[in-house]
């Protein structure tokens, strides 16, 4: 009897040791895979940075080098002189700022309405407002272009900015409504008793409590607007009004086949703001994607 | 009181309602009308019946070409990305030291999207001096293809590049994996199930709604590919990367055939709608929904 249980514990100990060893091996395999994948993930951008710091006569050399020798800042100098980087940066920033403000404000307004008030046709209207999520934007592109042409809005920022002030992307209305519905109505009622107007409840109570959700919407709008290409390509014609995205593609057409170091420098400078935003607001981005399914459009 | 409440509802949602009508509903109606007209902006639209649709479906060879380019890209690319997203999410779904850093790094390529990174990929895919072919040679002794300069390799090249944009898919999968109850795995372990069987009988069915969501989104977004093709290849060489939306764009904004381009847009809409419906219709066969869903 005693012997049996001793045997049993010895066996059990051996088994545990095997399990532990297998687990350690598995951890090692996972770390190895993750490190390889991380290198692959970072390589393209590292490569772009490397080319941006390479003197022009060494851009096309074999073998390619990740650490340029000698280092050269000519690319960056040309990116802000030959290429009107500052101008385009300013254009992109202003366009993006207007879209972020418009979307955060109007989407939250609409979402608040749906989250807090009741009335006839509310459900139907909610579905109606959300349908654009499923419509490809190409269908509305041409009539919108025709309409803006009639209004004389081509080569202005109106077509790019104005839609943001009318609810922005339907995904954000949905996201914000979901968030507002988790805020208890006790606070609204207390404020109402104190004589606050309905707008004041939205502005002074709901918005401050919804900061994380609003931040998510702002960040996604920023990313989408910063990278927007098709819109500015169609609606803007003057060279000095372009955002970075279209500016870069023109720069490629004009001089890119030769000035690869400057082109890469301009590209690296262009992706810097989104990267910085990602570094500081990673939490909101990850949560936002998990909630909206990443299907957010500008 | 009730009517006042309704008034507030309409007041607050008015911007969204107006936006939906002005920027979506009205343009859609106009677009439908334009698709039956000839319209080149300078002169007023002229009704031509089904002429645009006839030309699109039976005459214009580039429609078929651009549809097949787009379809091949989607049919090959979407499953590969779905698999990779799930695989990487499973690697990341562990309590290991430093896992948060790996999550951030593997999401990172999706932050740098758009034209800037497309420019970088023109260089990376350069047949002689690009990093991709260099690594193929150094690591595997393979002489890499001519990628963007080759009619055969331009789509594989763009597919390769698209793998760097799977970050959002990874995060969605990760959120899904974290939602699977640990009890299920524990119960399976007690029954003696190994890793593979746990994956097959727990992970896969539990993740199937998310896989379906990503499948639909993948199809929808792949049929709308534009920027890469416009910036990196201009549809070339020899129309081998003439994606459908690029062809639509050319008709509308380079040839100014607004009527014809509208018909193309409706074809795109119809295709996306049919494919989405097909996925949804087939979903009872392969998507597992828990009978009891708790609201979170």
Q: What is the pLDDT of residue B296?
A: 40
Instruction: Tell me how crowded residue B169 is: count the other CB atoms within 10 A of its CB.
Output: 26
* pLDDT tens-place string over residues B14-49: 999 999 999 999 999 999 999 999 998 888 888 999
Q: What is the pLDDT of residue A162?
A: 95
Instruction: Tell me how crowded residue B92 is: count the other CB atoms within 10 A of its CB.
Output: 22
* Spatial CA neighbour of A164 closest among A223, A114, A225, A207: A225
Q: What is the pLDDT of residue A257?
A: 64
Q: What is the pLDDT of residue A171?
A: 87
Q: What is the pLDDT of residue B151?
A: 93
Residue B224 has pLDDT above 80, yes or no: yes
Residue B292 has pLDDT above 50, yes or no: no
Question: What domains does chain B contain, in order, with CATH numbers?
Answer: 61-286 (1.10.3720.10)
Q: Show residues of chain B in contact with A228, CB under 8 Å.
A: 114
Residue A110, C-beta contacts closer than 8 angstroms, at least 6 positions apart? A129, A167, A173, B12, B13, B15, B16, B17
Q: Dig out the tokens for A227 from the structure.
A: 């990278």
- List, as own/partner pairs, every contact residues B62-69 make where C-beta atoms lie below 8 angstroms and the sequence separation is at least 24, other chains included: B62/B239, B62/B242, B62/B247, B63/B247, B63/B264, B63/B267, B65/B239, B65/B242, B66/B239, B66/B242, B66/B243, B66/B244, B66/B246, B66/B247, B67/B244, B67/B271, B69/B155, B69/B239, B69/B240, B69/B241, B69/B242, B69/B243, B69/B244
Contact yes or no for A248 and B115 at CB 8 A: yes
The confidence band for A295, taking pLDDT boundaries of 50, 70 and 90, is very low
Instruction: Tell me how crowded residue B50 is: count the other CB atoms within 10 A of its CB.
Output: 12
Q: What is the pLDDT of residue A148?
A: 94
Chain CA centroid to CA B186, Å? 36
Looking at the complex, does the CB of residue A260 fall below 8 Å from at least one CB of chain B? yes
Residue B295 has pLDDT above 50, yes or no: no
Residue with the larger pLDDT of the pair B293 and A215: A215
* pLDDT tens-place string over residues A107-140: 999 999 999 999 999 999 999 998 888 788 889 9
The CA distance from A205 to A201, in Å, is: 5
* 82-121 in chain A: CB under 8 A from chain B: 106-107, 109-110, 112-114, 116-120
Q: What is the pLDDT of residue A14?
A: 85
Q: What is the pLDDT of residue A296?
A: 45
* pLDDT tens-place string over residues A9-65: 788 888 888 888 888 898 999 999 999 999 999 999 999 999 999 988 888 877 777
Residue B286 has pLDDT above 90, yes or no: no
Task: Say which DSSP state A163 is in.
Answer: G
Q: What is the pLDDT of residue A58?
A: 83
Q: Are A78 and A262 in contact (CB under 8 A)?
A: yes
Average pLDDT over residues A162-175: 90
Q: Show residues of chain A in contact with B8, CB under 8 Å.
A: 113, 116-117, 198
* pLDDT tens-place string over residues A211-268: 989 999 999 999 999 999 999 999 999 999 999 999 999 998 886 567 888 999 999 9
* 250-279 in chain B: CB under 8 A from chain A: 252-253, 258, 261-262, 265-266, 268-269, 272, 276
**What is the average pLDDT score of chain B?**
90
Average pLDDT over residues B161-173: 91
Average pLDDT over residues A154-170: 93
Provide ipTM, 2 decimals. Answer: 0.88
* pLDDT tens-place string over residues A51-101: 999 988 888 877 777 888 788 898 899 889 988 999 999 999 999 999 999
Contact yes or no for B120 and A167 at CB 8 A: no
Residue A298 has pLDDT above 50, yes or no: no
The chain B residue lying nearest A111, using CA atoms, is: B13
Q: Are A59 and A51 in contact (CB under 8 A)?
A: yes
Looking at the complex, does the CB of residue B31 fall below 8 Å from at least one CB of chain A? yes
Domain A76-292 CATH superfamily: MetI-like (1.10.3720.10)
Q: What are phi and psi of B179, to 5 degrees?
A: -85, -10
Contact yes or no for B26 and A146 at CB 8 A: no
* pLDDT tens-place string over residues A190-226: 999 999 999 999 999 999 999 989 999 999 999 999 9
Looking at the complex, does the CB of residue A258 fall below 8 Å from at least one CB of chain B? no
* pLDDT tens-place string over residues B122-160: 999 999 888 899 999 989 999 999 999 999 999 999 999
* pLDDT tens-place string over residues B238-252: 999 999 999 999 999
**Packing angle of the helix pair B99-111, B167-178 (nearest 10 deg):** 140
The CA distance from A165 to B116, in Å, is: 28
């Amino acid at each position: 009897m005693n012997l049996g249980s001793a045997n049993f514990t010895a066996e059990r100990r051996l088994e545990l040791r095997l399990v532990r060893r297998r687990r350690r091996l598995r951890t090692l395999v996972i770390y190895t895979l993750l490190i390889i994948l991380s290198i692959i993930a970072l390589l393209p951008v590292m490569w772009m940075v490397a080319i941006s710091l390479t003197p022009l006569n060494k851009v096309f050399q074999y073998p390619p080098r990740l650490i340029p020798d000698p280092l050269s800042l000519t690319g960056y100098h040309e990116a802000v002189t030959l290429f009107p980087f500052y101008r385009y940066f300013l254009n992109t920033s202003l366009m993006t700022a207007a879209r972020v403000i418009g979307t955060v404000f109007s989407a939250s307004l609409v979402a608040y309405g749906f989250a807090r008030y009741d009335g006839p046709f509310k459900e139907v209207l909610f579905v109606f407002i959300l349908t654009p999520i499923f419509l490809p934007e190409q269908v509305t592109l041409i009539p919108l272009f025709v309409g803006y042409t009639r209004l004389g809005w081509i080569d202005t920022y109106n077509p790019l900015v104005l839609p943001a002030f009318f609810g922005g992307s339907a995904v954000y209305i949905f996201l914000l409504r979901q968030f507002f519905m988790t805020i208890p109505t006790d606070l609204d009622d207390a404020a109402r008793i104190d004589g606050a107007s309905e707008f004041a409840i939205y502005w002074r109570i709901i918005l401050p409590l919804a900061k994380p959700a609003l931040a998510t919407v702002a960040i996604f709008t920023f990313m989408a607007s910063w990278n927007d290409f098709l819109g500015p390509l169609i609606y803007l014609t003057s060279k000095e009004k372009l955002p970075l995205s279209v500016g870069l593609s023109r720069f490629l057409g004009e001089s890119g086949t030769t000035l690869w170091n400057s082109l890469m420098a301009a590209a690296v400078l262009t992706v810097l703001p989104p990267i910085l935003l990602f570094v500081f607001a990673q939490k909101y981005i990850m949560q936002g994607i998990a909630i909206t399914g990443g299907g957010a459009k500008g | 009181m009730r009517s006042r409440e309704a008034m507030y509802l309409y007041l607050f949602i008015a911007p969204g309602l107006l936006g939906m009508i002005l920027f979506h509903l009205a343009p859609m109606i106009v677009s439908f009308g334009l698709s039956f007209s000839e319209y080149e902006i300078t002169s007023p639209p002229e009704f031509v019946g089904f002429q645009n649709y006839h030309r699109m479906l039976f005459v214009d060879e580039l429609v078929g070409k651009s549809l097949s380019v787009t379809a091949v890209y989607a049919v090959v690319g979407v499953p590969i990305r779905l698999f990779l997203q799930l695989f990487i999410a499973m690697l990341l779904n562990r309590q290991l030291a430093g896992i948060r850093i790996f999550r951030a790094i593997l999401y990172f390529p999706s932050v740098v999207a758009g034209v800037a990174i497309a420019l970088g990929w023109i260089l990376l895919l350069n047949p002689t001096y690009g990093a991709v072919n260099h690594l193929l040679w150094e690591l595997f002794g393979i002489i890499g293809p001519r990628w963007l300069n080759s009619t055969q390799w331009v789509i594989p090249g763009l597919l390769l590049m698209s793998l760097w944009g799977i970050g959002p898919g990874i995060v969605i999968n990760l959120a899904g994996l974290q939602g699977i109850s640990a009890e299920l795995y524990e119960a399976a372990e007690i029954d003696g199930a190994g890793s593979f069987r746990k994956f097959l009988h727990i992970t896969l069915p539990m993740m199937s709604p998310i896989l379906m969501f990503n499948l639909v989104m993948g199809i929808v977004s792949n049929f709308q590919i534009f920027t890469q093709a416009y910036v990196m290849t201009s549809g070339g060489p020899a129309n081998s990367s003439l994606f459908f939306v690029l062809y639509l764009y050319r008709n509308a904004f380079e040839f100014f055939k607004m009527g014809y381009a509208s018909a193309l847009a409706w074809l795109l809409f119809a295709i996306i709608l049919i494919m989405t419906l097909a996925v949804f219709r087939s979903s009872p066969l392969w998507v597992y929904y828990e009978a009891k869903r708790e609201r979170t």
